[in-house]
């Protein structure tokens, strides 16, 4: 009997490797948008305007008024592991910004066409550059790829076109642009709640009116009721909880136990913790009628040295030290908050 001979092992082409890696991080337009939003927020922007076509598959554009990108940095900004947010490995444990290892723009550039227009405060014009596979490319075939001066306000505009144009199976999986657009609105809503000092707007290309618009001076409760339903207004309780030994603090807004929604909305920053989400939902299940749900927004601040930042970006969940104890503390604070509210209601009825 003849033995099957092994085929020779060959190294995959670098662009194929990069494309596969990018496809693991960016699964859909909303993932790309999240990265772009975080970059704008890291740049200290006060406004974020988003423009979308075909659920972000044709066009995803984000304009901010942040500190911009220096002209000299435009050449490398889309390369892998280029970042202005991290210098040493030790910096990882004290990082305050969202992004930190310079992979987002690089990843997107392997699976889409990127154009960046950016101006810093000390420059009297903006510069525009186009990218593919991490590198500068000419805007037109044969032209010089160097960044070109152009008009523009201080801040950055990033245009992502034809996402997944070279990943056909991914494109085929994303058949419904409306579905993708809703996911985009979902991401923008969450960031709008969490960044009440920043004004957000999001609209489809070709439509004059924004589908989402928040003012940069609106209070979190107003943003929540604007984006998650006006019935929530007046139904939110402020939740505050902290523990120095566990090295964390949490604050946010939750609906009280006499109010309910059709589905559970859980907004959690720093990142998602499934354990915490389940625990918060669990507190309400004993209080709310079956099939009805609360709204909860929590901003969790954990001592940076307790957060495992070295997780792969595909992990949608974050891990941190004392996760169980912190979850228990948040649950306790939530129960106390909800109980207090019931007492004061009873009291109001009596008086």
| Residue (of 139, 163, 157) closest to 58 by Cα position | 163
Q: Could you give the dihedral angle defined by the CA atoms of residues 98, 104, 106 and 112, in that order, rounded to the nearest 10 degrees? A: -150
Find all residues with CB under 8 Å of 298, minimum gap 6, and list them.
239, 250, 251, 252, 254, 266, 267, 268, 269, 276, 280, 330
Q: Is 87 exposed, middle or buried (0-12, 13-18, 19+ CB in 10 A)?
A: exposed
The 10 Å Cβ neighbour count of residue 349 is 7
Binding partner at 77 among Mg ion, ligand ADP, none, C-beta below 5 to 8 Å by kind: ligand ADP
Using rule CB under 5 A, residue 40 touches Mg ion: no
- Give the interface size with ligand ADP as a residue count (CB under 6 A): 23
- CB-based closest residue to ligand ADP: 99
Distance CA 59, CA 56 (A): 5
Find the distance separating the first CA and the last CA of the chain, reported in whole Å: 94
Residues 76-135 that bind Mg ion (CB under 5 A): 99, 104
The residue range among 100-108, 232-240, 263-271, 307-315 that interacts with ligand ADP, by the rule CB under 6 A, is 100-108
Using rule CB under 6 A, residue 43 touches ligand ADP: yes
| Residue (of 154, 9, 150) closest to 68 by Cα position | 154
Binding partner at 147 among ligand ADP, Mg ion, none, C-beta below 5 to 8 Å by kind: none
Using rule CB under 5 A, residue 39 touches Mg ion: yes
Using rule CB under 5 A, residue 156 touches Mg ion: no
The residue range among 94-102, 123-131, 167-175, 225-233 that interacts with ligand ADP, by the rule CB under 6 A, is 94-102
Kindly state the smallest distance separating residue 38's Cβ from ligand ADP, in Å.
Answer: 7
Phi-psi region of 304 (alpha: psi -120 to 50; beta: other; left: phi over 0): alpha
Kindly state the smallest distance separating residue 104's Cβ from Mg ion, in Å.
Answer: 4
Kindly state the smallest distance separating residue 261's Cβ from ligand ADP, in Å.
Answer: 34
Residues 189-228 that bind Mg ion (CB under 5 A): none
Tokens of 45: 């922007």
Tell me if residue 239 falls in helix, strand or coil: strand
Residue 50 or 224: the one with the smaller Cβ distance to ligand ADP is 50
Binding partner at 264 among Mg ion, ligand ADP, none, C-beta below 5 to 8 Å by kind: none
CA dihedral for 141, 146, 147, 148, sign (positive or negative) = negative
Distance CA 19, CA 14 (A): 9
The residue range among 31-39, 131-139, 166-174, 288-296 that interacts with Mg ion, by the rule CB under 5 A, is 31-39
29, 55, 102, 199: residue in contact with ligand ADP (rule CB under 6 A): 102
Using rule CB under 6 A, residue 77 touches ligand ADP: yes
Which residues of this protein are in contact with Mg ion, per CB under 5 A? 39, 99, 104
Which residues of this protein are in contact with ligand ADP, per CB under 6 A? 35, 39-40, 43, 64, 66-69, 77, 82-85, 99-106, 156
């Amino acid at each position: 009997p003849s033995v099957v001979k092994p085929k020779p092992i060959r190294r995959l082409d670098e662009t194929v490797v990069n494309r596969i890696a990018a496809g693991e991080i960016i699964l859909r337009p909303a993932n790309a948008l999240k990265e772009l939003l975080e970059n704008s927020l890291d740049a200290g922007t006060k406004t974020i305007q988003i423009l979308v076509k075909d659920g972000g598959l044709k066009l995803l554009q984000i304009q901010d008024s942040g500190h911009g990108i220096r002209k000299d940095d435009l050449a490398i900004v889309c390369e892998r592991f280029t970042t202005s947010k991290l210098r040493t490995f030790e910096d990882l444990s004290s990082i305050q910004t969202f992004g930190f290892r310079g992979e987002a723009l690089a990843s997107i550039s392997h699976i889409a066409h990127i154009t960046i227009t950016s101006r810093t405060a000390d420059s009297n014009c903006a510069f525009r550059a186009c990218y593919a596979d991490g590198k500068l490319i000419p805007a037109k075939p044969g032209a010089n790829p160097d960044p070109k001066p152009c008009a523009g306000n201080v801040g950055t505009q990033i245009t992502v076109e034809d996402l997944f144009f070279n990943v056909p199976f991914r494109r085929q999986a994303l058949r419904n642009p409306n579905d993708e657009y809703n996911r985009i609105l979902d991401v923008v809503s969450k960031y709008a709640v969490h960044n009440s000092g920043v004004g957000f707007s999001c609209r489809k290309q070709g439509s004059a009116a924004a589908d989402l618009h928040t003012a940069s001076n609106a209070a979190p409760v107003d943003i929540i009721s604007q984006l998650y339903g006006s019935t929530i207004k007046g139904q939110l309780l402020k939740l505050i909880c902290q523990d120095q030994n566990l090295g964390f603090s949490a604050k946010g807004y939750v609906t009280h136990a006499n109010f309910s929604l059709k589905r559970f909305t859980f907004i959690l920053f720093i990142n998602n913790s499934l354990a915490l989400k389940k625990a918060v939902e669990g507190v309400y299940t004993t209080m709310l009628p079956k099939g009805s749900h609360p709204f909860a927004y929590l901003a969790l601040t954990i001592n940076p040295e307790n957060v495992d930042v070295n997780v792969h970006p595909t992990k949608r969940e974050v891990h941190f030290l004392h996760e169980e104890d912190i979850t228990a503390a948040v649950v306790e604070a939530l129960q106390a908050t909800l109980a207090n509210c019931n007492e004061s209601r009873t009291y109001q009825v009596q008086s």
